[in-house]
Amino acid sequence: MTSSTTFVITSPCIGVKDSACTEVCPMNCIYDAGDQFVIHPEECIVCGACVPACPVSAIFEEQDVPANQYSFIARNRAHFSL
């Protein structure tokens, strides 16, 4: 089941990959994608626990992703072949 919204990890995560977000995620839906973390959109329950845990403010609800970061919405979905 796909939720109508999800969280997306954007460019500030690249090269940082602080695992604080993965430690607080109750669904374990944050995955290592090489240079950054990504959130599985079908596993995320949109609880928001990851947002304040991110030390670089890289996590946004999909509808709130800044315009200059829209490519990360597609990158996130592509990682999971969605």
Element (H, E) at 61: strand 59-61
Along the 82 residues of the chain, how does pLDDT read in single tens digits?
344 589 999 999 999 999 999 999 999 999 999 999 999 999 999 999 999 999 999 999 999 999 999 999 999 999 999 8
Whose tokens are 């990959």? That residue is 17
pTM of the complete model:
0.91
Q: What is the CB-side half-sphere exposure of residue 38 using CA atoms within 13 A?
A: 19
For the domain made up of 7-79, give the CATH fold. Answer: Alpha-Beta Plaits (3.30.70)
